[in-house]
Each structure stands twice: as structure tokens, then as C-alpha cells.
């Protein structure tokens, strides 16, 4: 798992630029691809970790590769500043083993905290991602419908996309902090906050 973090004050591309520089070391890149291709491994990236997966090509391609000009990416929130609040996100596809224990179509309340979480891609890419089931999660309103309303889609992501996967689903990147939960947190927030991502990952290896 590649976590988030505010390295260097979360300057443009934040921790992602440092993470990708490490993962592009040939020995590390080879080890990652061996994990995925020969050892049936899983990878998860949250927030800056999602940014790193995108910059590396692990999502949406499923391999470490140079970033093409038309490739999906993450950029500055439309509001032009950091956003930190609870987001309603819907499980759009359970292709990923990380979401096997989540309910398909269900809405989960997940904290977001980022300045560059806006998912952008050409229409051809967006169509391909939906067709392949690679759009894992989307920002939704209170009725559970994907929305461009900034109240719910805080960063202005195209087609309200919050998380995507590799073609086989084993690499999953998302902006919302699914790890920020415990029995004593967000007690005043209504809604299910447990996508059981980590339980699903453990179950995959059983």
C-alpha cells in the first residue's frame, strides 16, 4: 500500500513525485512487476498514493510505464485550494479484490483531504474505463447519484470519478482516506464509513 502524506508542504504533485522517483528505480520497478505478474500480488494507493499510481502508470495500465500525453491524471481541485471534509462515494464496480467485501452500488462516507484530487482524462479514456469496469468509485450526492456539484464532488473530478483500478483490478487507487476510521472517530457523521478494503485484501490471499 502507498499511503498519502504532505511531503514538502504538499506542493504540486506532492509526495507523488518523490514516490514515483523511487519506484522508477529499475530494481524496484522490476520487483513491483514481479509482485503483480508472478506472485498474484495487490497494490493500493490512497490520496498521494493514488497520484503516484497514476504517474507511474500502474493505474489505469497495470504496469510501470512512461506517462503518455493523453493519459488520465490528477490535478488541482477546481476550487483552487485544499479540501478537507467527508465525501459520499459509491462503489461503481467491484472488479478490484480490494472491494470484494463492499456492497456494489452502496454509498460510503469517506474523509477526503487534498489539494490535487481532480481526476481528468479525455472522453475516450473515460469511456474505456467505464466499459472495462475500471471506475471503482464515484462521488455522489445524498441520493446516491454521481454529481458535478462541488458540494459533493469537492475537487471537480470528471464523471465524479474518485477511484480507478488496473485492467485486472488488482491495483486500486483512490482519493478518499478509507484508512481513516476507527470506533471512536466521526461519531457525529451519519452513514457507513467502512468499505472493508483491508479486510477484502486479506481475504484475497486466503
> Active-site residues: which are they?
47, 177, 179
CA pair distance 202, 206, nearest whole angstrom: 7
Both ends of the chain: CA-CA distance in Å? 18
Helix or strand run (H / E) with residue 45: strand 43-46
Sign of CA pseudo-dihedral 9, 11, 14, 17: negative
Rounded to 10°, the helix 14-23/48-56 angle is: 50
Amino acid at each position: 500500500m502507498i499511503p498519502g502524506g504532505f511531503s514538502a508542504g504538499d506542493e504540486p504533485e506532492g509526495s507523488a513525485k518523490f514516490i514515483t522517483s523511487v519506484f522508477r528505480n529499475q530494481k524496484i520497478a522490476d520487483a513491483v512487476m514481479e509482485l503483480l505478474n508472478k506472485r498474484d500480488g495487490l497494490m493500493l494507493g490512497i490520496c498521494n498514493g493514488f497520484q503516484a499510481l497514476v504517474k507511474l502508470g500502474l493505474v489505469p495500465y497495470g504496469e510501470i510505464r512512461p506517462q503518455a500525453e493523453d493519459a488520465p491524471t490528477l490535478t488541482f481541485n477546481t476550487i483552487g485550494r485544499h479540501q478537507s471534509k467527508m465525501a459520499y462515494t459509491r462503489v461503481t464496480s467491484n472488479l478490484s479484490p480490494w472491494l470484494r467485501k463492499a456492497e456494489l452500488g452502496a454509498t460510503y462516507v469517506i474523509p477526503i483531504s487534498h489539494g490535487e484530487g481532480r481526476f481528468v482524462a479525455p472522453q475516450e479514456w473515460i469511456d474505456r474505463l467505464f466499459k472495462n469496469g475500471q471506475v471503482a468509485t464515484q462521488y455522489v450526492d445524498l441520493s446516491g447519484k454521481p454529481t458535478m456539484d462541488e458540494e459533493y464532488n469537492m475537487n471537480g473530478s470528471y464523471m465524479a470519478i474518485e477511484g480507478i483500478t488496473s485492467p485486472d483490478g488488482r491495483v486500486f487507487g483512490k482519493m478518499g482516506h478509507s484508512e481513516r476510521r476507527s470506533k471512536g472517530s466521526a461519531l457525529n457523521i451519519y452513514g457507513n464509513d467502512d468499505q472493508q478494503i483491508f479486510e477484502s485484501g486479506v481475504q484475497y490471499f486466503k
